[in-house]
Structure 1
């Protein structure tokens, strides 16, 4: 260790020993000391010495590896603070590849990872001799050294292959071309050796030695093939490797049968080899589909032999079967094997070739056999699944609704069935319908094989439901057979009851007559009964979800079944134990609440009482908590008010999910903001708890732009709930934050801010202008500069107009600020703003905005200012246009301002109802705001008349007449229809 470091190597060994202790009193000081040393020169060289000292305690060496891995991540790059010196790096790299005789597998693997992490940064520019050294060492006659060098090479190749920069990829491709033949020869050698060892019944140790190396080389080949070759099919060595890969895999499968009884490890190692061989094919298909074209036929022959023939099935095991299904699915699903209509595509010929190979293989007889095998062999519930159903029905039911087709057998084969059925529907539909006919009779409760076959056929019909729309008369089948089977309560028939439930859920949104929906609801309610099997009940809850979440769902038709459904789901929610199941059922209940709205009110008391308990139990399950919050959102909406029983529960939840200091915010933020917004919209008045909650808003605006829209909505609802409180507490802070954010927001975000600014001005004409003052210079600047986006410009001028109507002093102060920034007079700034205003106002389409602008233009007429006097004629044209927009004549010939509240026009006349089923407290407050809005309380014609009279009385007569002469004759003529000059 370097002399600069504060500890000798012996001290470091002792510190590592203490750092591996379970006693916190010993552990903590040791960790602190190691943190202090980690930036000292020589620290990592000393760690490598400790790792390489084989007679040291394994725990100490293991801790040394961990600290070295962390140190490489933190200090290896040249730009890192306290970076490891170049001299020490050279020593470390030399030490890592000078010895490959590590006896402990775990340490050897970690050493390989260390080399790989450094290689990802340094190789090849800063470590040019790494790969040549590894390739040379692989040729060693020492079995251990050879294995460790292969292990290191595998990790290095994996690490370098993950680099995505174009230059790095090109270097890796050049390296691949140079070594590919060598690596393929190694793979051939060790594959043939382990196959020969097994056939000749050699010792297990020798088999393992060669098999481990074959697996490592196969992993290397996969990365070289997928990431190191730009077009694998253009590389002769690669195609030679791929052509023999399936043959070698067949041999390995035969060897696997002979390995049974020779120990679990060697059997698993052989399976690992087979898995990686098929993984090469899957990866090639996913990443280089055109390089896979020549392998389509042989891969399909290979997979269908092992999956669908009696001779082949005897060699299979679960992981291999999954990989085979994934290969078939990949070939069927690959878009590059479906020719485009555009025959000019550069890949068109290859696409046609791939399609033809695929279609030539999938002849009707093969498709028929595959379909029958899938349904009658693979879809049959096996004994392990039935045992799981008995032992753990929740896990069984949840596994069934999973979609991990790449990793689980049942989803993988079901995905292949659906993909194949969709592509070859005309051939396979008759086959499946024939199976339905074969199993149409109601079978004996004691005949389990017949029940399982019927279950498999029903499963297939459910999976292919969309493609069987025209072929299956589901109404008739449901009434005559399926509903009758639901009545059989024998334990064996739970299998059929569960599958019929799945069928009802699938077909509810495809082809079920509306008149049969009530009968389906009755059937589902029976399946949810407490006397029913647990897995059947969980499946029935999914069926209910499908039935409710359908375009043709009729809440009125469901009304008679609401209480029973909701109560049974609630009972199920209390009985299940798994968080995933609770979340699933809670989501179904939430959907019911959402779809039926206020109708749910009489049935929610028990759920309201239960939710705090489940919330407490779900402390370590954030996704369940998200589901609970979503339920609360719909409950509050359905109830139409925040009931007293919920208040003590709601506020702490919202506080937890919206506090940036709490870790739960990562999971709960969006749902909690939605709940907060809903609570506000349905609250009749402000409370101290809600005021305290609003303290979170400034930090939330700073926390995440993703939640910005909801935060703006909350600010708006809070403002209407208690305008003065909001503005006096956080108004200035929020406006300052919004002003700072505007430069980085897209147009949609800027519009949200401007709507909030306008709401402040509408909600409190007195406090509003002072509160929005921090953001006004940016808005005025937008008009001054001529904002290009029309909707934003419209809002800019609308805000400017409302400020002008409410408070001349604030308007003048902002003009003065702008004049100071641009080093111009206030008159020049006013002139520029007014010119843009008059130029852009004709582009404003909303009549309310045009009227408020017209009111503001009429308002400034009495400000004796040069820009206003000079542009008097243009101002009058725009005011006239606003008058034309709002003055309407009814059928009785009565002329009026169409935006004014009167006996015929209540606030509801001007208010667009919310999306909710019923009007909320917030909707009422928005309507009340209309009562004090100048747009709806000031008659523009009368206001203009008043301003003209004031102007006439203020100005000398000759100056007044000069102003009128600035108005063109046509405009003046039309104005005289409204007012008197």
Structure 2
């Protein structure tokens, strides 16, 4: 009996034709000892899978887990998915088991349907599945029917229409049958199929979808109209029956029509039925709104509201995607939205979500570029754009704008009872910033967006707002909540339109004469105005407020941060303080008198708020105070330093709050400088945790953790054992090769400068391995970072350093001789060998012998190639420091009796003399090398970090900065004369170009 239900004759024929279906399952020990594979006939295989699904749907964990493992192991077995299909197609099986079967079926289709997928479903099974799906549109269980619709859409995305051309025609044919239940299931399936196909973006797929639209749109539009008409007829006698039976097919057919209009039509005007459908949408909206007013049952009303919202969204998406075609509906849309949102007559008809969608349509029309005419090029503007602009101009008359603007500011801008309740009961949520596209879904942000769009587009909105501002000036009766809310709404509008009102409002005068007085009113009800006023001040701060008045802002903010003030006001004041401190005109000396108080009050606020997001906001404000105040903040941070470890522990479930803590610590360490050593018991463990790739939260914390690590090292006076051990986290970070790689090498450099001996003794192998693994993988910019680290090691350890990186030097040398490195990298390559020549000649010549053996060449020939190229390349080395380094290296080589040096002896003087011209300066008749630093005791190191000082000390040991080029050259020429003998030396000098020789003699006087 079951078999007759499951299998249709055509599928039985397929089974007979291909023989007994072979399905390999690994049975448990009760069924199959040793887990051997067995071949079972179709019915037996189905029973095994069905039993396993029953176990997987049970609440018994001992049954559930093994069953899930079995099902997972069968995912890639041929024949598994047809068996699943047979199970969820058997309506006599428990619905929960069938629902689980279809879920496994859907997941398998998602993973293994594509031919290129690993363990892809074979073609025979695919054919079976597709054929069976086309016979199963009468699924009784809604949850199973939904999953089946999704399954069909997933297959359609891959196979339709090439491998499954009959899908859409079959659905369309079924929709013509006079069967309401079947129609709902078919519409559900078609909705998901069309939704999936419309998302495909390849040109061929888009063309196919447009062909679907041309073929089927008229039918779908007519279907929607018929179902809607049926709904309206039934609603006149029995609203409940109409909503439950007719609304779903009407809704689904409209969703399908919407997708076809948006993605399947290049020009809607080419489809008369589409234009008619949009016209009908306006009519249906008005009818549905009237019906909604008659419904008292909440559930029924909610269903109808969804339908109404979807009708409005059809207008919205058509306007966005086909703005030119929508021009003929602009007048109708503006009239409709204005009537139902901004007139008293429609108050009982509309509802919040409907108002939001209507406002968004009006805003979209006002801001649409296709409907704007630029006066300067009006003659060249398209007729459609002129037409749209004219329609808008005729609609938005001064009286209409006044009515809309007044309604917005006196009704929609007002805080609602729900807002005030939220203020009192959840103040932190009330102050949460609106983010992203909240204006699409929230009434307040949507209202503000529409107001700004109108204010920006139409000058007549400015006098209206100024008039309202004038009307709310002066003292407000604290007992009159309506007056308080009206003033708050007007002030909100002034804050939002700060840029547009720049020339209309003398904000300095308003701030001093009115707003400061508003802030001094401490009545409990007046907190609404205090909060809005300090918010407006923040909005105008960087628009039009004189820098001389900034101290007044600090004075105004501080009382609003006190614990006696309302929490919403305190949080808003903190945000304004952040804006004030982050202002371009900020002067730390002006803020210093308020630093201690503001820091103390912000810290108390941080302790008292409880929400993660609020703590983050307050921490960001504290970070700005610390960053902008610098060392001045040192006396005031002790309580924060004690509190942050506790906050870190409490925020174990809030990774973004921990990011804010790390960011705050970065600024704190910068401000404390060497005093940050007192934070090490807290800093080092959290840096270790944040940069440990084995810790799951590293995904969020890594960037800030690395930055804190870097800053701690920059300010450290010395290297501690714990700090050294922290470097154990570095090898995995280097292997990760993320965008933080440069910072990782900078951290490594900081370690080198902190304690070169100790660090290199412990981690030289790690440094080398990290460089060796990356030098072949990175782009030239990344290799530059690696080579700068190697150069630092060479500076610190001229003898040991080259030995550490010996295996890498042939690669670098090869890069020089192949002449392929880009200029910055090539100059660093050459600098590395210049330092070898200067400080470790024995290693350099031994290295040449090794390279000669590797390349089967004479060392002399290799050296000649190197020097010849180096002399030519000198013009591309632009940094004076690296040019001088090259000149010092060439001068060092002059006494060498090597054949290569003797051959190129005159050529070496060209770059040397060029560098003399670069670095020599004249003062009081004597010449000096301006790159020589001396002791540089005159430097103001107030703003230097310990890292900067260590870098300066290293530079003082560098021949480039401590060796005058003219003195060194003079000494080397004397050594050269001794090495070659006077006669040979004169002969070599004589081979140098006369002009070059004369210039050299002039520099050496």
- The TM-score normalised by the length of structure 2 is 0.92
Where does residue 967 of structure 1 map in the other structure? Answer: 992
Aligned counterpart, 2:876: 843
The residue number in structure 2 matching 1:604 is: 637
Other-structure match for 1:488: 521
Matches within 5 A, 1:198-213: 198=235, 200-202=236-238, 204-213=240-249
Tell me, in whole angstroms, the C-alpha distance in 2 between the residues paired with 1:776 and 1:710.
Answer: 24
Distance (whole Å) between structure 1 residues aligned to residue 364 and residue 765 of structure 2 = 58
Among 878, 887, 901, the residue aligned to 2:933: 901
1:353 & 1:859 partners in 2: Cα distance? 81
Map of 2:37 onto structure 1 = none
| 2:114 equivalent among 51, 68, 77 | 77
Partner of 1:466: helix, strand, or coil?
Answer: coil
Q: Distance in 1 between matches of 2:161 and 2:658?
A: 49
Which digits, 9 at most, give the CA deviation of each residue in 1:660-690, with x for residues without a partner?
2221121111111110111111111112222
The answer to whether 1:248 aligns with 2:284 is yes
d(CA) in 2 for partners of 1:346, 1:696: 64
- 1:498 equivalenced with 2:523 (yes/no): no
User: 1:118-517 to 2 correspondence within 5 Å?
Assistant: 118-198=155-235, 200-202=236-238, 204-258=240-294, 260-261=295-296, 263-338=297-372, 348-398=382-432, 404-424=438-458, 426-517=459-550
* Structure 1 unmatched runs, 5+: none
How far 1:562 sits from its partner (Å)? 1.3
More displaced 10-residue stretch of structure 1: 399-408 or 153-162:
399-408
1:104 counterpart = 2:141:
yes
Cα distance in structure 2, aligned partners of 1:949 and 1:609: 65
By how many angstroms is 1:141 displaced? 1.7
Residue 510 of structure 1, CA deviation? 2.0
Deviates more, 1:297-306 or 1:284-293: 284-293
Q: Which segment drifts farther, 781-790 or 487-496?
A: 781-790
1:867 pairs with 2:867: no
1:854–1:878 contact (8 Å) kept in structure 2 = yes
Looking at structure 1, the residues matched to 929 and 67 of structure 2 have their Cα atoms a distance apart, in angstroms, of 82
Distance across 2 between alignment mates of 1:207 and 1:679: 66
Which residue in the other structure is 2:947 paired with? 922
Cα distance 1:422–1:729, how it changes in 2: closer, same or farther (>3 A)? farther
- Relative to 1, partners in 2 of residues 1:342 and 1:964: Cα closer, same or farther, differing over 3 Å? farther
Tell me the SS of whatever aligns to 1:460.
helix
Q: CA separation in 2, counterparts of 1:19 and 1:93?
A: 26
Task: Give ranges in structure 2 of 5+ residues lacking alignment.
Answer: 1-19, 28-44
> Which residue in the other structure is 2:55 paired with?
18
Alpha carbons 1:724, 1:767 under 8 Å: kept: no
Summarize the Cα distance change of 1:155–1:344 in structure 2 as closer, same or farther, 3 Å threshold: same
CA distance in 1, matches of 2:565, 2:913: 74
Q: Does the 8 Å contact 2:234/2:241 carry over to 1?
A: no
2:693 is aligned, of 634, 638, 660, to 660
Conserved? CA contact 2:309–2:353, under 8 Å: yes
Shift in Å, 1:213: 0.9
Structural mapping, 1:5-84, within 5 Å: 5-6=24-25, 8-84=45-121
Q: 1:517 to 1:907 in 2, by over 3 A?
A: closer
Q: Does 1:523 align with 2:556?
A: yes
Query: Who is 2:959 aligned against?
Result: 934
Q: In angstroms, what is the RMSD of aligned CA positions?
A: 2.5
User: 1:540 & 1:678 partners in 2: Cα distance?
Assistant: 30
Q: Does 1:593 align with 2:630?
A: no
Q: CA deviation at 1:583?
A: 0.8
CA 1:441/1:902 → structure 2, altered by over 3 Å: closer, same or farther?
Answer: closer
Conserved 8 A contact 2:895-2:977: no
2:981 and 2:509 map into 1 onto residues whose CA distance is: 92
- SS class of match (2:474): coil
> Aligned partners of 2:384 and 2:814: how far apart in 1?
58
Change (3 A) 1:956 1:563: closer
SS in 1 for 2:739: helix
**Comparing 818-827 with 771-780, which one deviates more in the overlay?**
818-827
Contact 1:402 1:411 in 2 (8 A): no
Do 1:859 and 1:947's aligned partners in 2 also have CA atoms closer than 8 Å?
yes
The 1:766/1:281 distance shift into structure 2, 3 A limit, reads: farther
1:754-833 equivalences in 2 (<5 Å): 754-787=787-820, 789-812=822-845, 815=848, 824-833=857-866
Deviations 1:358-387 (A, max 9, x none): 334322222222221111110011111111
CA contact (8 A) 2:919 2:931 kept: yes
Alpha-carbon distance in 2 for matches of 1:47, 1:979:
93
Q: Provide the C-alpha distance between the structure 2 equivalents of 1:820 and 1:77, rounded to a whole number of angstroms.
A: 55
Contact 2:153 2:189 in 1 (8 A): yes
The answer as to 2:997 corresponding to 1:978 is no
Sort the Cα spacing of 1:344 and 1:330 in 2 relative to 1 into closer, same or farther, 3 A: closer
Q: CA deviation at 1:135?
A: 1.3
Q: Per-residue displacement from partner, 1:316-350 (whole Å, max 9, x unpaired)?
A: 21212221222222223334444579969998554
- Residue 498 of structure 1 aligns to a residue in which SS? helix
Q: Bigger CA drift: 490-499 or 54-63?
A: 54-63
Distance 1:748 1:357, change over 3 A: farther
SS in 2 for 1:854: helix
C-alpha offsets along residues 375-414 of structure 1, whole Å, 9 cap, x if unaligned?
A: 1110011111111111111111115678611121111111
User: In 1, distance between residues paired with 2:912 and 2:433?
Assistant: 68
Bigger mean CA offset, 855-864 vs 815-824: 815-824
How far the C-alpha of 1:740 sits from its partner, in A, is 4.8
Distance 1:390 1:157 in 2: 47
8 Å contact kept, 1:683–1:921: yes
What is the rounded CA distance, in whole Å, between the counterparts of 1:468 and 1:591 in structure 2? 29
Partner residue of 1:91? 128
Structure 2 residue 951 is matched with structure 1 residue 951: no
Alignment partners' CA distance in 1, 2:377 and 2:243 = 53
TM-score of the superposition, structure 1-length normalised?
0.94
Q: Report how far residue 185 of structure 1 moved.
A: 1.2
CA distance in 2, matches of 1:562, 1:590: 13
Residue 299 of structure 1: CA displacement?
Answer: 2.1
- Between Structure 1 and Structure 2, how many residues are aligned? 968
What is the rounded CA distance, in whole Å, between the counterparts of 1:342 and 1:955 in structure 2? 82
| Secondary structure, counterpart of 1:895 in structure 2 | strand
**Structure 1 residues 457 and 808: CA distance shift in structure 2, 3 A:** same
Going from structure 1 to structure 2, the CA distance change for 1:118 and 1:346 (only over 3 Å counts) comes to: farther
Is the Cα–Cα contact under 8 Å of residues 253 and 315 in structure 1 kept in the other structure? yes
Cα pair distance change 1:637/1:348, threshold 3 Å: farther
Cα separation, partners in 2 of 1:593 and 1:91, compared to 1, 3 Å: same
Q: Is the 8 A contact 2:198 2:206 kept in 1?
A: yes
Q: How many Å separate the matches in 2 of 1:603 and 1:319?
A: 49
Residue 677 of structure 2 contacts residue 716 of structure 2 at CA under 8 Å; is this kept in 1?
A: no
Q: Deviations over 1:773-818 (max 9, x none)?
A: 3443343333223246333333232223223223234434654566
Please state whether the residue corresponding to 1:888 is helix, strand or coil: strand
2:386 and 2:773 mapped to 1: Cα distance?
56
1:4 aligns with 2:29: no
Instruction: Give the aligned partner of residue 636 of structure 1.
Output: 669
